[in-house]
Amino acid sequence: MFFKKNSMILLEGQKMKLIIVENYEEASVEAAKVMLEQVRSNPKSHLGLATGSTPIRLYELMIADHKLNNTSYRDIKTFNLDEYCGLQSTHPQSYHYFMNKHLFDGLDIDLHNVYLPKGFGDIQENCDAYNALLDKNGLDLQLLGIGSNGHIGFNEPGTAFESKTHYIELEESTRQDNARLFFNGNIDEVPTHAITMGIQNILDAKKILLIACGESKAKPIQTLVEGQMTIECPASALQNHQDVVVIVDTAAASLLTKK
Ligand code: F6R
């Protein structure tokens, strides 16, 4: 394999498009092109969305485009990957709050069409309800970040590739990563458990868009792009999918050997 900027690569029979750009801004611009193409070509798209630091600029670009070009989200449905357990949707660190603040408040989306897993109450009931919802609706495009330990959604290493929405204990490293960026740096404030779409739910999406920026993502990106499929790197499950776009900056691409 030979990688260069904006190259398309083939991975053992599966089609994965790998786009290498300079930095976070360029990665967000490339991701916005994929996202907006989806929304414009099908204004009734079902979008799987992510939280965390990675999609923040992409969401700003979607809002800017909506204001400038009137791209409408009125008939779009969204389904988030995950939610912390124990935080109500009004909690400033909940993913529900994050999505309102960083995306939904800036769009013309109908909030009745916005779905996130519910991290309180009867969790098993919530998992079953979310699986039923996903099965009924289907996802046209799933947006993903990636954890420094290779997680997608909150599917931590060791999660079965066949998993559906489930309750999970977060790894210490995940809680540390999230404390660094959110929760005022205090790991004790980061919930210990979450509810997350399973890897199978993610693989069921028609198209997958993964963005990874920064050195801490280099190792899992190497495994995803060049490594063996293993449950120790949940993102490597994407090698099984037929339509994946991976957008990385040079830091996240730094361990790819065939640049
Ligand atoms: C967020 C999510 C996580 C993040 C990942 C990367 O909904 O499911 O998998 O995408 O932890 O987080 P950031 O973007 O903060 O590096």
3 state DSSP class of 122: coil
Q: Which atom of ligand 1 is nearest to 145's Cα?
A: 10
Average pLDDT over residues 38-47: 98
Structure tokens at 61: 């670009």
Average pLDDT over residues 47-62: 98
List residues bridging with 46 in a β-sheet: 77
Kindly report the average pLDDT of the chain as a whole number: 94
How many Cβ atoms from other residues are within 10 Å of residue 2's Cβ?
7
| pLDDT, tens digit (0-9, with 9 covering 90-100), for 171-198 | 999 999 999 989 999 999 999 999 999 9
Helix (H) or strand (E) holding 58: helix 56-69
Sign of CA dihedral 162, 246, 51, 151: positive
* Distance from C-alpha of 117 to C-alpha of 152, rounded to nearest angstrom: 15
- Residue 216, ligand 1, Cβ within 6 A: no
Q: Which atom of ligand 1 is nearest to 174's Cα?
A: 11
Contact criterion met (CB below 8 Å) for 165 and 127: yes
Structure tokens at 70: 């009137």
What pLDDT sits at residue 1? 42
- Residue 81, ligand 1, Cβ within 6 A: yes
Report which residue type is found at 125. Answer: E
Instruction: Please list the active-site residues.
Output: 82, 149, 151, 156
Q: CA-based angle 209:214:218, to the nearest 5?
A: 80
C-alpha Rg value of the chain to the nearest Å:
17
- Residue 148, ligand 1, Cβ within 6 A: no
- Residue 83, ligand 1, Cβ within 6 A: no
Average pLDDT over residues 201-207: 98
